[in-house]
């Protein structure tokens, strides 16, 4: 018996990187996973990997910023697995630049993917959670569900050159604390995990081809300047960047029964960084 047997988890942005690692980890502990990615191939690969290991998963491909995505994401879980227990708002990317060089579109893009999309997903889930909590209370049962919003130390501490990203990630902290108060009566624990320097394609050097990503036909340059990358490594007390599996481990802690009385909190997964 896994700790998450019979649980159903939505994980946005789970075709690659940290999201992929988390999907595999939750599935290995018994959860059924709705995998999401912008592209078909990464999502299909994760679903296949989960099934090959004896788990169960389904893909819900698409851009989380689409107005109808939240409803479609939640409905995929309900139609396929008949329930919903864990929501992880993980999808996102960076579009860095100092304020004088940022356009309105560049700033808004970060709000759309990191704030508006999670809001729509949680709003889409609200009716199911409300009704289920009422039914379970009438039956004398307490079923604890989990929401984990993925923030960043850019949002908790600020980061030069990321006013759009840091503003959006800071907003997720406020969303987390508000929803923990709104949904406590529904027995939903809402927490936030803020990552520090984690090795993903978005934190590679900008001259690495992997940092060029495409979103609905638009080429986006992500990544980190090489000099900044070296400085970041020296700032981490543990002396290195975190791996995707280690980042996923921090989220996992907020999904398992051991965290059933933890809500409204921000967990920093940063190898000891505190400034």
Tokens of 194: 């803020």
Check whether 186 has a pLDDT greater than 80.
Answer: yes
Task: Tell me what pLDDT residue 201 has.
Answer: 75
- DSSP 3-state of 268: strand
pTM of this prediction? 0.92
Tokens of 30: 């018994």
List pLDDT tens digits, range 131-183.
Answer: 999 999 999 999 999 999 999 999 999 988 999 999 999 999 999 999 999 99
Cα–Cα distances in Å, from 117 out to 91, 172, 206, 252, 274?
Answer: 9, 11, 26, 21, 28
Rounded Cα–Cα distance for residues 9 and 31 (Å)? 7
Query: pLDDT > 90: what percent of the chain?
Result: 82
Three-state SS string over 145-205 comes to EEEEEEEEHHHHHCCCCEHHHHHHHHHHHHHHHHHHHHHHHHCEEEEEEEECCECCHHHCE
Rounded Cα–Cα distance for residues 195 and 227 (Å)? 20
pLDDT tier for residue 1 given thresholds of 50, 70 and 90: confident
Rounded Cα–Cα distance for residues 231 and 238 (Å)? 14
Task: Tell me what pLDDT residue 220 has.
Answer: 73
Q: How many residues does the chain have?
A: 275
Rounded Cα–Cα distance for residues 131 and 173 (Å)? 26
Please identify which residue in the block is written with the tokens 């939640």.
74
Ranges of beta strands (E only) in 21-144 are: 32-35, 57-59, 86-89
Of 90, 89, 108, nearest to 168 (Cα)?
108
Query: pLDDT > 70: what percent of the chain?
Result: 91
Instruction: Note whether 126 and 169 are within 8 A (CB).
Output: no
Ranges of beta strands (E only) in the chain are: 8-11, 32-35, 57-59, 86-89, 145-152, 188-195, 212-215, 218-221, 266-269
Please identify which residue in the block is written with the tokens 């959670």.
129
List pLDDT tens digits, range 57-97.
Answer: 999 999 999 999 999 999 999 999 999 999 999 999 999 99
Neighbours of 250 (CB within 10 A): 21
Task: Give domain limits for the chain.
Answer: 8-198+242-269
Please identify which residue in the block is written with the tokens 């020296």.
234
Instruction: Note whether 64 and 13 are within 8 A (CB).
Output: yes
Catalytic residue check, 165: yes
Q: Which of 165, 186, 252, 261 is catalytic?
A: 165
Neighbours of 30 (CB within 10 A): 16
Rounded Cα–Cα distance for residues 34 and 111 (Å)? 24
Of 157, 31, 17, 14, nearest to 73 (Cα)?
14
Check whether 274 has a pLDDT greater than 90.
Answer: no
Check whether 228 has a pLDDT greater than 80.
Answer: no
Assigned CATH topology for domain 8-198+242-269: Rossmann fold (3.40.50)
């Amino acid at each position: 018996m896994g700790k998450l047997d019979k649980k159903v988890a939505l994980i946005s942005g789970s075709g690659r990187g940290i999201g992929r690692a988390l999907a595999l980890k939750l599935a290995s502990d018994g959860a059924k996973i709705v995998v999401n990615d912008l592209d078909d191939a990464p999502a299909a690969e994760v679903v296949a990997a989960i099934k090959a290991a004896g788990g169960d998963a389904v893909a819900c491909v698409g851009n989380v910023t689409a107005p109808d995505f939240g409803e479609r994401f939640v409905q995929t879980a309900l139609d396929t697995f008949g329930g919903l227990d864990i929501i992880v708002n993980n999808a996102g990317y960076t579009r860095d630049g100092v304020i004088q060089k940022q356009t309105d579109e560049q700033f808004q893009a970060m709000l759309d993917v990191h704030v508006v999309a999670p809001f729509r997903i949680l709003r889409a889930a609200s009716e199911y959670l409300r009704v289920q909590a009422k039914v379970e209370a009438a039956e004398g049962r307490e079923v604890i569900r989990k929401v984990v919003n993925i923030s960043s130390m850019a949002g908790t501490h600020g980061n030069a050159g990321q006013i759009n990203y840091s503003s959006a990630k800071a907003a997720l902290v406020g969303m987390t604390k508000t929803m923990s108060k709104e949904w406590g009566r529904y027995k939903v624990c809402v927490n936030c995990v803020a990552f520090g320097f984690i090795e993903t394609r978005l934190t590679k050097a900008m001259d690495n081809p992997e940092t060029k990503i495409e979103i609905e036909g638009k080429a986006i340059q992500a990544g980190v300047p090489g000099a900044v990358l070296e400085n970041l490594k020296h700032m981490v007390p543990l002396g290195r960047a975190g791996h995707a599996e280690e980042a996923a481990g921090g989220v996992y802690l907020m999904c398992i029964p051991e965290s059933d009385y933890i809500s409204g909190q921000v967990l920093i997964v940063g190898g000891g960084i505190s400034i």
